[in-house]
Structure formats: structure tokens, C-alpha cells
């Protein structure tokens, strides 16, 4: 290997997260600042963080529940109407 072309390696580089967690690992940088780490990332914590600035997520959820509720009521009405038609035909034929 050529000398003097490799970066300096720090055995105890300090990593600081925005949440306040601090780690020491080996790196070519002495200090590293990160926004997410294993202590605060939603994948590792299991907590979902949604930044809802204009209630967009809430509005979307409301729309979905309204659509689903409307479909089930309409579906039940159609099923009841079909059942009534079948009963009417059955009584006519008898």
C-alpha cells in the first residue's frame, strides 16, 4: 500500500445523535453528528412518528372511514333487495 494517501483513523470517534444519544466507534472522522440513531429511529423503537402539519393524515383517515362505512351500508341494502326479490319470485312461483 502507498503511504500518506490514507485518511487518519480515529479509534474512538464520537457520534452524537439529535436525540442526545452518544456512541464511540472507529471512523475516519473525529466527530459525527446524526439526526437518527438506533435509540430514536421508528424502525428500531416501533413507534411511528407522523408530522401532520395541516391535519392531512387525519383527513385522509376520515375519508377512508367514510368511504368504507358508505360501502358497507350500500352493500347491505343491495343484498337485502336481492333477497326480497328472490322471496317475491319464490312466492309468485308457488
Amino acid 92: pLDDT? 74
Pair 44, 60 in one domain: no
Pair 63, 33 in one domain: no
Pair 41, 57 in one domain: no
Pair 81, 39 in one domain: no
pLDDT digit string, tens, across residues 14-64: 999 998 999 999 999 999 999 888 888 877 778 876 666 778 888 888 888
The three-class DSSP label of residue 24 is: strand
Task: Answer yes or no: is pLDDT of 71 > 90.
Answer: no
Amino acid 79: pLDDT? 85
Q: What share of the chain is helix, strand, coil (3-state, %, to 5)?
A: 45, 20, 35
Domain that holds residue 75: 50-94
- Split into its structural domains, the chain has a count of 2
Amino acid at each position: 500500500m502507498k503511504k500518506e494517501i490514507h485518511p487518519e483513523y480515529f479509534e474512538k470517534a464520537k457520534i452524537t445523535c439529535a436525540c442526545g444519544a452518544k456512541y464511540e466507534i472507529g471512523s475516519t472522522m473525529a466527530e459525527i453528528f446524526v439526526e437518527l440513531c438506533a435509540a430514536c429511529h421508528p424502525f428500531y423503537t416501533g413507534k411511528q412518528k407522523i408530522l401532520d402539519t395541516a391535519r392531512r393524515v387525519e383527513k385522509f383517515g376520515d375519508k377512508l372511514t367514510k368511504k368504507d362505512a358508505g360501502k358497507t351500508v350500500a352493500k347491505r341494502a343491495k343484498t337485502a333487495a336481492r333477497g326480497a326479490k328472490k322471496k317475491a319470485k319464490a312466492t309468485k312461483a308457488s
